[in-house]
Chains A and B, each alone.
Chain A
Amino acid sequence: MPNPPMGPSTAAIDPARWLNEHGDSLFRYALARVRRSDVAEDLVQETFLSALRNQAAFARNSSERTWLVGILKHKIVDHLRRQFRETPTASLADDECLKRLFDGTGHWNGNPAKWTNPAAALEDAEFWTILSRCIERLPESLAGVFVLRALDDIPSADVCAVLGISAANLHVILHRARLQLWRCLNVHWFDGTRGLP
């Protein structure tokens, strides 16, 4: 993508350059976490506007990018908290995925397959695309919790505090999210019939 000509700038902070220099990167960061491009776009905009209002708070010893990502993180957490509050918890009662994986006595329904060479998958760009798609397909009731805990490696206790849920609920949600993801990767990557979900 051609960059528009810009004069040299020596300022530590330069809002005129933000969109070009950080826009796409912040958008990708947000998209990986909120999974909807319209929401991610709004969060990027809110981040820039908030940064504009709080320029005085910018610490000279951090980079502009780090500072902006820090603001974006707060916006993302706010969004996930709102989303989690609006998700009916009744949907946690039943889980079709679990029902398919285990029989009535809690044993595996069919034998889960061996994964051939998972280490090689990490070097394959297509694997990461499929993993992202599998996360995108998680139901809303599981996604926010999973993203905070797994994608950002936020400690369990902090996720509970931020979203206002009990530890027991957290474990149920993460367990289900992981099994759905595991199943998705089995079907779309490790089964040999590779293809986007």
Chain B
Amino acid sequence: MSLFSCEDANRLISKALDAELTLSGRLLLYGHLAICSTCRRVRVQISFLHAAVARLGVQADRDGQTHGCLSPQARERIQRALDSRNDDGFRARETD
């Protein structure tokens, strides 16, 4: 077994997505990738995943989705909270 394992390489594959690797880190990682086709493949898959999750974050804000609506109960509760706060606001202004 080598001193720098697939598990180690995987740690650096992930780290490279969040920070700049040190020179020795880069040498270790790319040295390993040069001889390990499995880690090369996983690296592409992890990068794909990283990009997909970022896109999901943008999509979550999109309208027109059928799933994930406020339940009627939650809607009612929030409306009540808004109404009561709104009244307070008006009262406060009237007594100013």
Contacts and interface: CB of A to CB of B under 8 A. Distances in A.
Contacts of A23: 70, 75, 78
Interface residues of A, number: 57
Contacts of A53: 85
A28 interface: yes
Size bracket, chain B contacts: 35 or more
Contact of B82 (A28, A52, A178, A181): A52
Interface in A110-126: 111-112, 114-115, 118, 121-122
Interface string A68-109: 010000000000000000000000000000100110011110
B45 A105 contact: no
Contact of A171 (B18, B55, B81): B18
Given A150-B50, A175-B14, A48 B57 contact: no
18 contacts: A18-B82, A27-B70, A29-B60, A44-B74, A48-B82, A49-B85, A69-B61, A106-B6, A128-B56, A131-B56, A151-B56, A167-B19, A174-B17, A178-B17, A178-B46, A178-B49, A182-B42, A182-B45
